[in-house]
C-alpha cells in the first residue's frame, strides 16, 4: 500500500499508524480520486481493505475491552497496561492461582533472570529467553510505556541507571517488578470474581477471552 502511494506521489507523507485512522484514509481516498491507471486502482482497493480491517479490529478491541474490564480491573489500573496488553496477560496466564508464588510466575513470564555459574561470572545473571514470550512482550510494552513517564517506571529506571546499569538492564529489572505487580493484580481480580454474583462476572468469560486472542 505505501509503495503504491509512494509511486503515485513521492512527496506524500503518511504518519506512523496513519493507515489505521479513518481521517487519514479519507484524505488518501480524496488524493487517489485524482489519479488514474492500474497503480491508483490497486491503491484504492487496498485502501478499502484497510478500512474493512480497521473496522473489524476496532469492533474486536471494543469486545475485548468489555471482557477485560470485567475480568481484570486491577490489571487495567497498572499504569501503561491497556486493553490489548491486559487481554494477552489474562489469556496467557490462564489463572494466576495456579502459580505457587510471584517467583514461579516470573519464571513463567520469562522475567526471572538466569544465573551465570562460571567462576569468572560469579553473581552475574543473563537474559532469560525462555518463558511465555507473549506475556514477556506484554510486560515489556508496559515497561516501555512507564519509562516514558506514565507511572513509576521512569523514576525507577533513572534510579537503576544511576547505580551504573544500562537502560536495557534497567528495563529488564522493571519487567521483573511488573511481573510481580501483574501477578498481585491478577490474584486480586480472581479473588473478587469468586465473591461476585454470576450476573456481574460469568464463569466462562476467561474462556471467551482466550478464544478471542
In a domain, 201, yes or no: yes
User: Does the structure show a pLDDT above 60 at 202?
Assistant: no
Q: Are residues 96 and 165 in the same domain?
A: yes
What average pLDDT score do residues 121-132 get? 64
**Same domain assignment for residues 45 and 140:** no
Average pLDDT rounded to a whole number, residues 112-125: 60
Closest by CA to 111, choosing from 160, 159, 179, 204, is 179
* 169 is a domain residue: yes
Q: Are 142 and 80 in contact (CB under 8 A)?
A: yes
What is the count of structural domains for the chain? 2
Residues 9 and 93 in one domain: no
Residue 67 resides in a domain: no
Task: Give me the residue label for grid cell 471482557.
Answer: 67
Torsional class of 36: left (φ above 0), alpha (ψ -120 to 50), beta (otherwise): beta
Looking at residue 197, what is its pLDDT?
Answer: 46
Among 20-34, 123-137, 196-210, name the one with the lowest average pLDDT.
196-210
Are 90 and 188 within one domain? yes
Same domain, yes or no: 24 and 111: no
d(CA 61, CA 74): 19
Do 97 and 162 belong to one domain? yes
DSSP one-letter string for the chain:
-HHHHHHH-TT----TTGGG-HHHHHHHHHHHTT--SHHHHHHHHHHHHHHHHHHHHHHHHHHHHHHHHHH-HHHHTSTT--HHHHHHHHHHHS-GGGSSSHHHHHHHHT-SPEEP-SGGGTT-EE----S-HHHHHHHHHHHHHHHTTSSTHHHHHHHHHHTT--HHHHHHHHHHHHHHHHHHHHHHHHHHHHTS-TTTS-TTHHHHHHHH-
Q: Which of 20, 36, 62 is the last residue of a domain?
A: 62
112 domain-assigned? yes
Tell me which residue of 181, 199, 211 sits closest to 72, measured CA to CA.
Answer: 181
pLDDT tens digits, 130-181: 789 999 999 999 999 999 988 899 999 999 999 988 898 899 999 999 999 9
Q: Are residues 122 and 208 in the same domain?
A: yes
Q: Is residue 32 part of a domain?
A: yes
Residue 201 — very low, low, confident or very high, per pLDDT cuts 50/70/90? very low
- Kindly state whether residues 137 and 197 are assigned to the same domain: yes
Residues 141 and 202 in one domain: yes
In the predicted model, what is the mean pLDDT of residues 35-39?
A: 85
- Which of the listed residues 29, 62, 95 is the one where a domain comes to its end? 62
Kindly tell me if the per-residue pLDDT of 213 is higher than 80. Answer: no
Task: Kindly state whether residue 92 falls inside one of the protein's structural domains.
Answer: yes
**Which structural domain, as residue segments, surrounds residue 151?**
72-212
For residue 204, what pLDDT is reported? 58
If asked whether residues 44 and 84 sit together in one domain, one would say no
pLDDT in tens, 60-79: 888 889 999 999 999 999 99
Residue 165 resides in a domain? yes
For residue range 98-113, list pLDDT tens digits in order.
Answer: 999 999 999 999 998 7
pLDDT at 125: 54
Q: What is the pLDDT of residue 124?
A: 57
Domain membership flag for residue 21: yes
Residue ending a domain, among 62, 80, 114, is 62
Amino acid at each position: 500500500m505505501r509503495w503504491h502511494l509512494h509511486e503515485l506521489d513521492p512527496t506524500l507523507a503518511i504518519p506512523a499508524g496513519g493507515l489505521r485512522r479513518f481521517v487519514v484514509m479519507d484524505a488518501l481516498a480524496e488524493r487517489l480520486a485524482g489519479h488514474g491507471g492500474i497503480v491508483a486502482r490497486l491503491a484504492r482497493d487496498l485502501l478499502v481493505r484497510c478500512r474493512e480491517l480497521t473496522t473489524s479490529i476496532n469492533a474486536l478491541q471494543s469486545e475485548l475491552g468489555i471482557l477485560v474490564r470485567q475480568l481484570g480491573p486491577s490489571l487495567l489500573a497498572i499504569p501503561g497496561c491497556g486493553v490489548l496488553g491486559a487481554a494477552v496477560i489474562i489469556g496467557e496466564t490462564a489463572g494466576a492461582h495456579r502459580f505457587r508464588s510471584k517467583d514461579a510466575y516470573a519464571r513463567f513470564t520469562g522475567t526471572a533472570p538466569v544465573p551465570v555459574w562460571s567462576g569468572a561470572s560469579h553473581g552475574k545473571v543473563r537474559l532469560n529467553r525462555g518463558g511465555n514470550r507473549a506475556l514477556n512482550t506484554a510486560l515489556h510494552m508496559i515497561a516501555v510505556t512507564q519509562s516514558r513517564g506514565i507511572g513509576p517506571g521512569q523514576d525507577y529506571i533513572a534510579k537503576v541507571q544511576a547505580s551504573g546499569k544500562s537502560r536495557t538492564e534497567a528495563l529488564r529489572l522493571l519487567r521483573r517488578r511488573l511481573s510481580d505487580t501483574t501477578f498481585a493484580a491478577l490474584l486480586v481480580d480472581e479473588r473478587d470474581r469468586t465473591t461476585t454474583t454470576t450476573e456481574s462476572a460469568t464463569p466462562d468469560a476467561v474462556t471467551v477471552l482466550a478464544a478471542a486472542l
